[in-house]
Amino acid sequence: MTRSGRFDAAAVARAAGAALHHGPGTRDRFKCAVCDSREVRPGALFVGLRGARHDGGAFAPAALAAGAWGVLVEPQHSPACVERAAPDQVVLVSPDPLRALQRLAASWRQHLGARVVGITGSTGKTSTKDILAALLRAAGVTVHASPENLNTEIGLPLSVLAAPPGSEVLVLEMAMRGEGQIAELVAIARPQVGAIVNIGPVHLELLGSVERIARAKAELIGGLEPGATAVVPVAEPLLAPYLRDDLETLTFGPGGDVQQVGLRDGSLELQLPFGVLSLPVAFDEPHQLSNTLCAVACALALGVLPRGRVEPEFSRLRGQTVTLDGGVRVILDCYNANPMSMRAALDNLARRPGGRRLAVLGKMAELGPRAPELHREIGRYARDAGVDVLVCVGEEAREYAVGFAGEAHLCETPEEAGRLLRNLAQPEDVVLLKASRSVGLERAIEG
């Protein structure tokens, strides 16, 4: 252990269950872990993970040359790394670098002694994480939150290891792409508060039904230790079978422990179990206000009463508005998309003042056999929400136009949609860009 409170080389090796092949690593001190050699910076431990196309360990010598604090690699990469390492750099070796990374993160979390909030849900979990971090900071709590969406079996450990000494609360987002994955994340993070923002038809291609999605999300509840707190939507029947008598349960939404009773002069009026709270907020989108209810319930579970203005720094491409030349406003909400988030985004578009409302929509991924039907439903929803012009980007997105039955345009790529927008959009128009991440829909307005 160093005076800074950070692990030294020997402590990192012990925590990770790795062998120390070169050290002791007196260069600065260990501060974080990275899995991309291009992200190496002073204090970074580069972890060489084997992927579908590349063996990250092959990049470890380059990471050392770039100034990494050290590297964690499989045994076959050790000789090249030891040869390249400077006297003050570290080479750690494990037959399973991912497992070693996870063990190291679990140990660092325990060393910090910080309380942990784990957040999952079908949609809105990243924004809820951002709002909760802002709530806690406004109340004077030292918070470390998952950056962007570091929420997988790789990303969550990286986020934990980036938490500095003195962190009082870790707010960690937890993604789910299949059964057993959230349970794996819970075992690393060991949260005292577990929040499920909502349950919806996401990842149907992988799990097949909303019921199985709920069961996978509920692994967060199942992994909580007795006495912890589960934060869930009020009267959600899909989660009812997984609630536990040995946990505290806080609910949010109409009729719940935390519910909205009004929005007045930029302040969200909340009914709490012990009274009314007026909370100034820097946003008014209905879906973000709903996410705020969940975030407030998490804060209460930590014993923190929110106070001060809530001004979250929302993660990139999650609803921020940019104004283009000519006064056209574009809502960039194209980090991800599913039927729930698509409806929320269209509702947000419908309530925006201005000229016409244009929706540029790409596909919603991972919906399985129901994908065409669900895309057509969103097309009908866009029509009913008052969208004036629909632009469908990509083959699967053509189904939106079938349900829309209004002025619709079909484009193959985001770039083609961007060229079309330059001709379609008029001053004061409001444009929504919404699609799953794989579409890269933000390219429609790049440059």
The β-bridge relationship of strands 275-280 and 267-272 is antiparallel
Q: CA 443, CA 20: separation in Å to the nearest integer?
A: 45
Q: Summarize the chain as % helix, strand, coil (round to 5).
A: 35, 20, 40
Instruction: Please state the φ and ψ torsions of residue 417, each to the nearest 5 degrees.
Output: -65, -40
Strand locations in 224-325, DSSP E? 229-233, 248-252, 259-264, 267-272, 275-280, 320-323
Q: How many CB atoms lie within 10 A of CB 25?
A: 25
Three-state secondary-structure class, residue 221: helix
124 carries a ligand binding annotation: yes
* Short-list 17, 47, 15, 14, CA closest to 32: 47
Question: What would the two tokens of residue 372 be?
Answer: 């065409």
127 carries a ligand binding annotation: yes
Q: Residue 172: left if φ>0, alpha if ψ -120 to 50, beta else—which one?
A: beta
Long-range contacts, stretch 311-318, CB < 8 angstroms, 24+ apart = 311/134, 311/138, 311/282, 312/127, 312/130, 312/131, 312/133, 312/134, 312/282, 312/283, 313/130, 313/134, 314/127, 314/130, 315/126, 315/127, 315/130, 315/147, 315/148, 315/149, 316/148, 317/442, 318/126, 318/127
- Order across the sheet with 259-264: list the strands: 259-264, 267-272, 275-280
Q: CA 150, CA 157: separation in Å to the nearest integer?
A: 8
HEC profile for 229-256?
Answer: EEEEECCCCCCHHHCCCCCEEEEECCCC
Q: Scan for tokens 């997988």, then name that residue.
A: 152
123 carries a ligand binding annotation: yes
Helix (H) or strand (E) holding 61: helix 60-65
Buried b (16+ CB within 10 A) or exposed e, 396-425: bbbbbbebbeeebbbbebbeebbebbeebb
Q: CA 55, CA 326: separation in Å to the nearest integer?
A: 48
122 carries a ligand binding annotation: yes
Residues making up the chain, counted from first to last = 447
Point out the annotated binding site.
Answer: 121-127
Point out the annotated binding site for ATP.
Answer: 121-127
